[in-house]
């Protein structure tokens, strides 16, 4: 409640009980992660960081910008463009909707 003193759900989309001020069970169950889910999130992020570190350590530092479906490359606004010398259209990635790595196993 520190950031949302009136319980509007502006920062965390929950419904609060008028009596207790606590999140309602239905609201909390749908939107809050339990300890098990937090553990899956942590494990997933640990794996991602480990993979990134291995790639960097082995010299894999190629520019692979994420280009949205609209096709405007983020390189247009990147202040490092002259350093990485990325060629438009090469090695670019498009956003994919991944499987939910945090869902139940």
Per-residue confidence in pLDDT tens, the chain, 105 aa: 566 677 666 677 777 778 887 777 676 666 777 888 889 999 999 999 999 999 999 998 888 888 887 677 888 888 988 888 888 878 888 887 777 767 765
Q: Would residue 82 be called left, alpha or beta, if left means φ above 0 and alpha means ψ between -120 and 50 degrees?
A: alpha
Answer for the pair 44, 51: CB distance below 8 angstroms, yes or no: no
> Based on the domain organization, do 50 and 69 belong to the same domain?
no
Residue 45 counted as domain residue: yes
Residue 105 counted as domain residue: no
Whole domain around residue 1: which residue ranges?
Answer: 1-32
Residue 102 counted as domain residue: no
Residue 82 counted as domain residue: yes
pLDDT at residue number 90: 83
pLDDT at residue number 57: 95
> Based on the domain organization, do 24 and 41 belong to the same domain?
no
Number of domains in the chain: 3
């Amino acid at each position: 409640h520190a950031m949302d003193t009136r319980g509007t759900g502006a920062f965390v989309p929950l419904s609060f009980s008028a009596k207790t001020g606590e999140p309602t069970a239905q609201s909390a169950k749908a939107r809050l992660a339990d300890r098990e889910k937090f553990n899956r999130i942590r494990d997933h992020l640990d794996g991602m960081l480990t993979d990134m570190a291995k790639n960097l350590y082995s010299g894999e530092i190629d520019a692979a910008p994420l280009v949205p479906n609209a096709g405007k490359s983020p390189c247009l606004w990147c202040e490092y463009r002259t350093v990485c010398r990325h060629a438009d259209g090469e090695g670019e990635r498009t956003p994919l909707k991944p499987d939910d790595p945090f869902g139940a196993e």
